[in-house]
Amino acid sequence: MAGSVSGTFHGMPAAPLLRRAWSYAQLMRLNRPIGIALLLWPTLWALWMAARMLPGAERAGAFAPLPSLKLLAVFIAGTVVMRSAGCVINDFADRNIDPHVKRTRGRPLAARRVSPQEALALFGALVLIALWLVTRLDSLTVLYSFVGAALTISYPFMKRFFALPQFYLGAAFGWAVPMAFVATVGAVPRTGWLVFIATLLWSGVYDTLYAMVDRDDDLKLGVQSTAIAFGDMDTLLVGVMQAMVLGALVLAGRLVGMHWPFYVALVAAALLFAWQQWIVRDRDREACFRAFVNNHWVGLVIMAGVALG
């Protein structure tokens, strides 16, 4: 039967098709939604803060306008699509490195379950979908999107020679923030750049924790990362970046007139950051990965503060 795993689909065995689809899903990292969440939270912060800057919002007090459903739909879908495209091009660039890293050797390209040509075709399709999505918005936002696309495409190759690729990744991950402000209010005000800086630094925080998991492998392979560049000052510098993230968000919140729930949320985020520092004090690989994943909750509590603030 066509619906059974052992049956056929339009004359082709269903099981191989399902395995191929699953390999593509793994290549796009759809089986690991933590990456989508980490990209999506700052985008939502920006959309909500930008909505507070619309004409008349200051008269609405705590009940400021919400982002339009159109903007939410385009930015959420665009985040998923561009994150998927970024994962595909990253694995394409690392297809000869990943087999030598314990954490990544099972990825579809590293394990040769997907060919480089298939990966490039999938990447091209995802970029076209992202382009179609952004053209639903105004022309200035479309222009800004080209910067984001260039950052996303070039990031996988930067870590070959740039000692701090996590900050470049932060710019790529955070570029949706100025795009959200442009799409909402037609420009990027100081608030927008502060949220962008906070996002860039936050990406530096969690991606350094992520890089600490692979530090030994990266040293052998000659791959650059902040975990290597920071050396034995890694946790200290991560703590400095965590403080700077919170400071930038305090300044942004003051500019848009956030109320007390926003600042309570930042205190909660500070406690989560402190917990991350505690568990990675011995630089255990599993603890570093848990700290990385915990940043999802940081993004969530800040979003709750932005929405309630």
pLDDT in tens for each of the 309 residues of the chain?
A: 444 444 554 455 557 788 888 899 999 999 888 989 999 999 999 999 999 988 766 555 545 678 999 999 999 999 999 999 989 998 898 888 888 777 788 888 888 898 999 999 999 999 999 999 999 999 999 999 999 999 988 888 777 777 788 888 889 889 999 999 999 999 999 999 999 999 999 999 999 999 898 887 777 777 788 888 888 899 999 999 999 999 999 999 999 999 999 999 999 999 999 999 999 999 999 999 999 999 999 999 999 999 997
Domain range 32-308, CATH class: mainly alpha
Determine the 3-state secondary structure of 63 from DSSP.
Answer: coil
DSSP string, 232-244: GGHHHHHHHHHHH
Task: Write out the two tokens for 286.
Answer: 């599993």
Task: Write out the two tokens for 181.
Answer: 């402000």
**Alpha-carbon distance 269 to 305, whole Å?**
10
Going from N- to C-terminal start, the domains of the chain cover: 32-308
**Alpha-carbon distance 37 to 262, whole Å?**
20
Give the H/E segment covering residue 226: helix 226-230
3-state secondary structure 87-110: HHHHHHHCCCCHHHCCCCCCCCCC
Record the pTM: 0.88
Q: What is the CA radius of gyration of the chain?
A: 20
Task: Write out the two tokens for 210.
Answer: 């992520």
